Copies of this chain bind each other. A is one copy, B any other.
């Protein structure tokens, strides 16, 4: 949403008011559907449907797909049945499904009534699959070829049917709906001879996914193999749809955002920031804040339990924030790294021993450096510079020993929890910073008071 977009919405509103429809149309046809959608987003509600009607049919449908669900709903409500049918006829089935999934029941009913029978059947079929599954992400509009076609036949078929297909560049070879192989348009165009059979040039080692495969896994596969599309087959190996790279890109973005939100201690949200009301933000943020506030009771209890020790050596209190923060940071470094590696399929549960061994060695290095630096800092800054009399070398030793142990414990907790979470079928991201911070806080305080009691005899 750049500044340009902003002013263009105002310009369109002025032009609409002045009824300069031809001028608007001239500008609109030069624009990309995503950009038109962004401008409509910024317009006032009453001008928007008018502007939409000025778009050529195909561009209108493509723009419609790019709009926010709220605006789509608004538009559908302003459509006549004929207008709705016109837009639907131009949509790809998977886009139509995406829209249907976001609409309230009465709007869905209108959409299904306006769709032609075949599209209605296909929408209903895709809707059967669970959210976030390959089946719900796929489109049923692909080019299928028969193995006994010649290259020339295949090109003719693509020319005849291609206009309604989401991608024509990867064609699937089927017999009785069984997926036998794939042929790209590049293979067809570069084939040495037009009379060759599709079965002669097709790739038979086809990588496919099941309708129930998780969308994140599908997206990771498309990204790993650099495919334009991935076929989706049912349990009998019959081709039921394809998933294209653009949908995979959206999934990758969504899943990364979701991981980041969960790691930041929020329940994930579908809305963009500027579309979220404070109430939306509040709802996604308050659960973890409440949970963590209550769980901090433990840390409070630990401190209360050592109240007498603290009263005897008040100087110890001053180092509590540093110990807790460093522990929390060390732990979230490990957990965040592991969570991301799990998302990218770089790690499996059986790597756990290797991971723990890695983290232990890293923690020993980091703990030693931090403890040494901390000792120097305490003696120079806290003792010499600030003249804090309570700070003795023995106190500094207690703090630094605690620091080293805390870093070690934090890193081991930080790498272990996400891997167990994944193993048990939870989202590993839930185990990120806020949760680990609380666990590490408690451990670091226990270690602190334990070492202090032993060394300072309090």
Q: Which A positions have Cβ atoms within 8 angstroms of B?
A: 1-3, 30-32, 34, 155, 158-159, 162-163, 168-169, 185-186, 189-190, 205, 207, 222-226, 228, 245-246, 248-250, 252-253, 256-257, 259-261, 263-266, 272-274, 276, 278-279, 281-282, 285-286, 288-290, 292-294, 296-297, 299-301, 303-304, 307, 310-311, 314-315, 317-322, 324-326, 328-330, 332-333, 335-341, 344-348, 350-351, 354-355, 358-359, 361-362, 365-366, 369-370, 373-374, 377, 381-382, 386, 388, 403, 407, 433-434, 437-438, 441, 445
Residue from B261, B286, B335, B355 in contact with A336 in the complex, judged by beta carbons closer than 8 Å? B261
B347 engages A274 (CB within 8 Å): yes
Q: How many copies does the complex hold?
A: 2
B325 engages A441 (CB within 8 Å): yes
Given the contacts A186-B168, A333-B285, A341 and B260 also touching, CB distance less than 8 Å? no
New A-B contacts (15) at CB < 8 Å, excluding given A248-B249, A266-B336: A1-B346, A3-B350, A159-B189, A223-B253, A253-B256, A263-B336, A274-B354, A278-B361, A285-B330, A296-B321, A296-B322, A299-B321, A300-B382, A317-B317, A325-B434
B434 engages A329 (CB within 8 Å): yes
B304 engages A388 (CB within 8 Å): yes
B32 engages A278 (CB within 8 Å): no
B290 engages A369 (CB within 8 Å): yes
Q: Which residues on B sit within 8 Å (CB–CB) of A252?
A: 249, 252-253, 256
Could you tell me the distance in whole angstroms from the C-beta of A437 to the nearest C-beta in chain B? 6
Q: Which residues on B sit within 8 Å (CB–CB) of A330?
A: 285, 289
Could you tell me the distance in whole angstroms from the C-beta of A165 to the nearest C-beta in chain B? 9
